[in-house]
Amino acid sequence: MNQIQLNICLTSYNTEAELPETEQKLMAAARQATHKSYAPYSNFHVGAAVLLEDGTVFTAGNQENAAFPSGSCAEQSVIYWVGANYPNQQIKAIAVVARPGEARPDEYKPVSPCGACRQSLLEYEHRQQEPIRLLMMQPNGGVVVSESISNLLPVKFDADDLRG
Ligand code: THU
């Protein structure tokens, strides 16, 4: 028996000011998107913002449903919209932020994409054959960055596995 140990490397920035300007704006856009989320059931408002190669930014918040499993996370909402409307644009980065509750409208919280969102994001990274940077807000005003989606899904399933 052998054990295989996997290491995941993330980059930690103490402040958002250390990021390139485009990504600072992306973080701000993700925060803004939490205010457009539809989360009446969980009251957990997630915002995701995608940066395309031409500099365009698109955002979405999570979209919940009375039939709970029918809802959509913020990351999936925005990535599927971008995939559907800009299939030929490369996706450079995605930023994700959460905001729990309405009581403190300016209080943001870190969130990292759930497993299903990682799989959804991985599809687009594989499709474009270029990494997508994932920016996750930290509680102290910093940011943690994964240089790719596959970095967060090291033992992954993608289109290559479908080939015989
Ligand atoms: N949620 C997201 O939008 N993204 C995540 O990565 C984690 C969870 C949403 C789903 C649901 O609407 C709410 O947060 C509570 O789970």
Identify the pLDDT of residue 106. 85
CB atoms within 10 A of CB 86: 16
Tokens of 71: 């809802």
> Does residue 108 carry a pLDDT above 80?
yes
What residue ranges line ligand 1, CB within 6 angstroms? 39, 42, 44, 46, 62, 64, 71, 73-75, 111, 113-114, 117
Substitution candidate for ligand 1 out of 73, 80, 112, 137 with most atoms within 8 A of CB: 73
Nearest CA residue ID for atom 14, ligand 1: 44
Q: Residue 104, by phi and psi: left (phi above 0), alpha (psi -120 to 50) or beta?
A: beta
Q: What pLDDT shows up at residue 9?
A: 97
For a pocket test of ligand 1, which of 37, 42, 77, 81 has the largest count of ligand atoms closer than 8 A to its C-beta? 42
* Residue 78 φ/ψ region, left for φ over 0, alpha for ψ in the -120 to 50 degree band, beta for the rest: alpha
How far is Cα 37 from Cα 44, in angstroms, rounded to an integer? Answer: 9
Residue range 42-60, pLDDT digits in tens: 999 999 999 999 999 999 9
102 flagged as catalytic: no
Assigned CATH for 10-150: 3.40.140.10
Which range is least confidently modeled, 17-21, 89-93, 101-105?
Answer: 101-105
| 5-54 pLDDT tens trace | 999 999 999 999 999 999 999 999 999 999 999 999 999 999 999 999 99
- CB 38, CB 67: distance < 8 Å: no
